[in-house]
Structure 1
Amino acid sequence: MCTDLWSFALSTYARPGVENTCLRLQEQGADVCLLLCGLWLEQQGVAPEPARVLALRQIAGPWQDEVVEPLRRVRKQWRAMAQHNAGLDALREQVKALELEAERQLLLCLETRAQEWPTGEATYQGTWLEGLTTEAANLDHDALHQLRVVVTGT
């Protein structure tokens, strides 16, 4: 098991089916960084108290809105044009790298916040994902379950 959130996120995202599931959930309004953080916290046995869920959402929301999403928007806008322009394709790859770095920084902030919470205290480990995705009204809850099964086997 990975002890730091970034390593956990990378290894989890590389598992078969996780990337597609995460992208599908992201299209439905979920924050993939929060999902990965939630899975990590579930594995750590950190209890999903409402104040903790709120603390993570207060960190992630503004960062996603003001840093990650603008980069993602530019990257997506350039997709079609970049297929026919090598220079723009190179710039698009740089934007993609910045987007990934922005997500890494967010995960570091989330991990820093969560480090003060005791591990091994949760008796039921199934509410982090649900608590961190409550704003995504049309979320595919089967996809959340699939994600949890792929990562935890339960």
Structure 2
Amino acid sequence: MCADLWSFALSTYARPGVEAACLRLQAQGADVCLLLCGAWLEQRGVAFEPGRAQALQQLARPWQAQVVEPLRQMRGQWRAMAQQDEQLAVLRERVKALELDAERTLLMRLEALAQTWPITETMGYPRWLEGLAAENATNLDHDALLRLRAMVTGT
């Protein structure tokens, strides 16, 4: 088990099938950083509480909207042009690195918020993944969410 959220996110994202599931959920409006944080909290045995989920969402929403999303949109807009323009391709890679840095910063902030929550070693319902995805529940592919859980927890 990874002690810090960033290491957990990197090792989880590198597992077979996780990247595809995360990108699918992200395309449907999910905040993958929040979902990875939820999986980390589940793995650590931190009890889900709606107030905690709300605090994580309130921390993540503005950062995603004002920092991560604009970088992601710029990178996406440059995708086709960068295939024809080597200099733009280099700039696009730099924007991608900034986007990753922004996600890392968000994960560090989420971890700092959750660091004091006690570890109870119990896994109750609703679980973190479902609780954090709840605001997008009508739009999300629940199969992708279940696949993400299975890939993360091995269940």
Instruction: Determine what percentage of the aligned residue pairs are the same residue.
Output: 69
Aligned to 2:3: 3
Q: Is the 8 A contact 2:48 2:124 kept in 1?
A: no
Unaligned runs of at least 5 residues, structure 1: none
Provide the alpha-carbon RMSD of the alignment: 1.0
Unaligned runs of at least 5 residues, structure 2: none
**What SS is found at the alignment partner of 1:83?**
helix
Aligned to 2:142: 141
Runs of 4+ in 1 over 4 A off after TM superposition: none
Counterpart-to-counterpart distance in 2, 1:85 and 1:127: 46
Counterpart-to-counterpart distance in 1, 2:82 and 2:123: 49
Q: Which amino acid aligns with 2:76?
A: K
Q: Is the 8 A contact 2:29 2:140 kept in 1?
A: yes
TM-score of the two chains, using structure 1 as the length reference:
0.97
Give deviations 1:70-110, integer Å, cap 9, x for gaps: 00000000000000001100000000000000000000000
Counterpart-to-counterpart distance in 2, 1:123 and 1:2: 18
TM-score of the two chains, using structure 2 as the length reference:
0.96
**What SS is found at the alignment partner of 1:23?**
helix
Counterpart-to-counterpart distance in 1, 2:119 and 2:78: 43
Closer, same or farther in 2 for the Cα pair 1:69/1:110, shift >3 Å? Answer: same
The total of aligned residue pairs comes to: 154
